[in-house]
Amino acid sequence: MTHKEFRSKLKISSEKAHKELFEAYCGYVYTIVFNRLRSCASREDIEECVCDVFADVYCYYDTEKEIDGDISGFIGTIARRKAAALYKSRISSAETVSIDDELSEQLSSEQDVESETALNEQRRVILSLIAGLGEPDSSIIIQKYYYGRSAREIADIVGLTPENIRVRSGRAVRKLKEMLEKADISL
C-alpha cells in the first residue's frame, strides 16, 4: 500500500483504512517479529508485539507529509524496533547460566558416553545390514520391527499379499541373523 492510497482511505474511513493496512502488512510484521523473538518469547507475546507495532503505526504515521512510495519501510522499521526492545527486555530479565556450570553439569552426568557411542555405532551397522537385504525385504523389516506394523499394513505399503509378507519377513530375519553373526553383533 502506498502513502497516497493509505491517506485517501483514511479520509473515507479511518477504521477501514487501518483494517486494510493490517491485512496488507500483518504477515510481513509477524515474520519480522517472529524471527527476532522466537527464541525467547511465547506465541502470545509475539502476537501482542505485532499488535503493538500496528498501534504505533496508527499513532505515529504522519499522513500530512507528502511522501511518495510504499509505507512498508516505515512499518518494517517499527516492527524491528519493537521486536528488538522486547527481545532486549526478555534477555536481560532471563536467568543467565555460566558456561562453566553447564559444562561441569554435562561432565558429571551419569551418562556413559562410551557405551552410548558404541550403541549408536551398532545401530548404524544394523541399519546398513538391513539396507543390504535389498527391496522389499529391507522395507518389510523396517516396517515390522521399527514401526510395528502388521503384515496386512505392510502388504498395502509394499504391494504384496500378507502371506508373502510373512514368508519374506521370516526369510529376511534369518538372513539378517546370519549377517549379524558375521559382523559379530549379538542382540
Q: pLDDT (tens digit, 9 = 90+) per residue, 14-60?
A: 888 888 888 888 888 999 999 888 888 888 989 999 999 988 888 87
136 and 88 share one domain: no
Question: Are 14 and 88 in a shared domain?
Answer: yes
Residues 154/143, Cβ–Cβ less than 8 Å: yes
Residues 117-146: pLDDT tens digits? 777 777 888 888 888 888 888 888 888 888
Q: Note down the domain range covering 125.
A: 112-182
83 with 146, same domain?
Answer: no
**Domain identity same for 55 and 12:** yes
Residue 100 has a pLDDT of 52
Instruction: Please state the domain count of the chain.
Output: 2
> What's the mean per-residue pLDDT of the chain?
81
User: How far is residue 53's CA from residue 58's CA, in Å, rounded to a whole number?
Assistant: 9
Q: How far apart are CA 84 and CA 35, in angstroms?
A: 11
DSSP 88-102: HHHHHHSPP--HHHH
Which residue type sits at 48? Answer: E
Determine the pLDDT at residue 91.
Answer: 83
**Contact yes or no for 70/1 (Cβ under 8 A):** yes
Q: What's the pLDDT at 97?
A: 47
Look up the pTM and report it.
0.48
